[in-house]
Amino acid sequence: MRAGIIGIGSYMPDRIISNWDLEKIVDTSNEWISERTGISYRRKAESDTCSSDLGAQAAMLAIKDANLCPEDIDLILLASSSPDHIFPATACIIQSKIGAKNAAAFDIQAACTGFIYALTTADQYIVGGLYKNILVVGSEVLSKVTDWEDRNTCVLFGDGAGAVVLSNVKDGGVISSVLGSDGSGSGLLELPAGGSKEPANFNTVKNRRHYIKMSGNEVFKFAVKVFEDCTKKVVKRADLSLEDVDFIIPHQANIRIIDAAIKRLKYPRERVVLNLDKYGNMSAASIPVALNEAFRDGRINKGHKIMLVGFGAGLTWGANLIEWNL
């Protein structure tokens, strides 16, 4: 028995922020942002919207797509770098918002690799037999933890949510997974304050310590390396080769990271799903949103072998190789 995706949905806030809008806020230019990152637009949630709101919308679409009701869900896993609170888990808030009254719920913190970690966890619960229907959500309102005075980061991130329902399937499903971490790089990409190490106080606010900080160059080099490594590992673990993979759906951080990695892998760009020009980096939401778009526009079909690849803060990385069920 395998675990497969039997429903998928995504939900994006309406408000669009363009590179030209950002030119009015910080010292940047459309040319710099599009050349260095590939991003042109990103979405921004309204001020009264949080990650559980976007996540609940995406979750309902995925559950409907699976022809299930919220009561059929046994477990909710939520991956987010911008959860509603430190606690309670945003997964529990989504559980209440969608009325999944029979579900256990918890959050997974693996930053931009969060969706891969959550999908891998769900796969193991299903294969192990404890749960049948698991909702996996990646949801971000990064605009609320972005420093809109810092041009190094504010041009990169966007808001949005994607969700899948996994269940036991006879054919297809998750073939192999790879996860990794290296906490020695934890300072390279972080939201420093608000936890027990650097609790919120006047100084943490004054020094803007409640916003994302990133050493872009180091993270860039790390990302290219782990992208290549874990892609090779996950196909090897499945006893397949990269030619067998119909589409790669990478975390949408920077077009130059993706191009450098697929060049090393000698993988054709036309089989890589990209949407970062429209949405920027949506951390844990970027992979499920791109997956849903490629499915809805007809690129991904039943039987296709799909590789999901993520990397990000922690440092963390991971990949899933799946045979598409829908």
Query: Which are the catalytic amino acids?
Result: 112, 251, 281
Q: Are 315 and 182 in contact (CB under 8 A)?
A: yes
Q: What is the DSSP letter of 272?
A: B
Beta-ladder partners of 169: 2
Give yes or no for residue 305 binding ligand UT7 (CB under 6 A): no
Q: 41: buried, middle or exposed (CB in 10 Å: 19+, 13-18, 0-12)?
A: middle
Give yes or no for residue 24 binding ligand UT7 (CB under 6 A): no
Give yes or no for residue 28 binding ligand UT7 (CB under 6 A): yes
Give yes or no for residue 220 binding ligand UT7 (CB under 6 A): yes
For 89-95, which contacts have Cβ atoms below 8 Å and span 24 or more sequence positions?
90/51, 90/52, 90/55, 90/139, 91/137, 93/52, 94/52, 94/55, 94/56, 94/59, 94/137, 94/139
Give yes or no for residue 260 binding ligand UT7 (CB under 6 A): no
Residue 70 has which token pair? 């919220």
Site string for ligand UT7, 141-170 (x = CB under 6 A): ----------xx--x---------------
Q: What is the smallest separation between the CB atom of 324 and ligand UT7, expressed in angstroms?
A: 25
Give yes or no for residue 285 binding ligand UT7 (CB under 6 A): no
Give yes or no for residue 254 binding ligand UT7 (CB under 6 A): yes
Stretch 51-80 residues interacting with ligand UT7 (CB under 6 A):
none
The distance of Cα 219 from the centroid of its chain, to the nearest Å, equals 17
Give yes or no for residue 281 binding ligand UT7 (CB under 6 A): yes
Name the residue nearer to ligand UT7 (CB basis): 72 or 218: 218
Stretch 81-140 residues interacting with ligand UT7 (CB under 6 A):
112
CA distance between the termini of the chain: 17
Q: Are 111 and 312 in contact (CB under 8 A)?
A: yes
Q: Are 167 and 2 in contact (CB under 8 A)?
A: no
List the one residue from 170, 217, 297, 298 that touches ligand UT7 (CB under 6 A): 217
As a whole number of angstroms, the distance between CA 4 and CA 196 comes to 38
With CB atoms as reference, the residue minimizing the distance to ligand UT7 is: 216
Q: Compute how many residues bind ligand UT7; rule: CB under 6 A.
A: 20
List the one residue from 223, 285, 289, 291 that touches ligand UT7 (CB under 6 A): 223
Contact residues for ligand UT7, defined by CB under 6 A: 28, 32-33, 36-37, 112, 151-152, 155, 216-217, 219-220, 223, 253-254, 257, 281, 283, 312
